[in-house]
Amino acid sequence: MTMTGPLHQRAFVFGGSEGIGLAVAGRLAAAGTEVVILSRSEAKLGAALAQLGDDALARAVDVTDAEAVQGVVDALVAEVGVPDLVVTTAGYARPGWLEELPAEDVAGMVATNLVGTINVARAVLPHLRRAGGGTIVTTSSMAGLAGVFGYTVYSATKFGVVGFSEALRREVRPYGVRVLVLCPPNTLTPGFDEENRHKPAEVLAAEESVKTLTPDEVAEALMAALGRRRGFLVVPGRDSRLAAVAIRHLPAVVDRALRRP
């Protein structure tokens, strides 16, 4: 009988202390992958480690700080080795009408969602290239495939993640590095609970018919995608996959559906 090991030997999961990141880290750890979770919050990291077990490691870092991210990645590589999988789910959404969004959230979403993703990729890429390959998973959103009213800045950052990931994919392919971009719909995370506190009434009404996934459902879709040889966009959920097809092939229909009433 042939024995097979985990699909990935070692993974760094940024944003891995809660929500989708923690669900991904849990599935990887259960499959035998050496997991390191990274997040800003020491308290959340401690709680996450209690779920993941003694073999997982945690490091505190803010993805908006490029120098800190590089330092933590370099130190981890020296300590545990080069990861063959890097997942970054760190990000947040602050919905609201553009003219009413707090300036700190405009800057914060750009810094965390987009620049933070770039910082992680820049930090890990030299190590993956020297090791001869690996996989980088970025996290966008369904709002990164179609602009959603009430999410102007968030959508801009998530469109940016898709564009960045597409260009990165073409840039690093010669080095044996694979790039996937995860585009989940609304997902029941602590961040989603916070979003709901700020959503305008029209946004809440529009989302009543939208299926909301659990972090485990999103993680399951990502794990399945990692097991396939091909693919770039990872869109969890049947409804979301149908929506992604409509966004590409029926833009006028999607525009009518997503218009602010």
Would you please indicate which residues are annotated as catalytic (active-site) residues?
140, 154, 158
First to last CA, the chain: 61
In one-letter notation, the amino acid at residue 224 is A
What is the distance between the alpha carbons of residues 159 and 10, in angstroms, rounded to a whole number? 29
What is the distance between the alpha carbons of residues 139 and 117, in angstroms, rounded to a whole number? 8
Place of tokens 């968030």: 154
What is the distance between the alpha carbons of residues 121 and 66, in angstroms, rounded to a whole number? 10
Residue 229 has, within 13 A of its CA and on its CB side, a CA count of: 0
Phi-psi region of 66 (alpha: psi -120 to 50; beta: other; left: phi over 0): alpha
What is the distance between the alpha carbons of residues 89 and 18, in angstroms, rounded to a whole number? 10
Alpha helices per DSSP H over the chain: 19-30, 42-52, 66-80, 103-109, 116-131, 152-172, 190-196, 201-206, 215-226, 238-249, 251-258
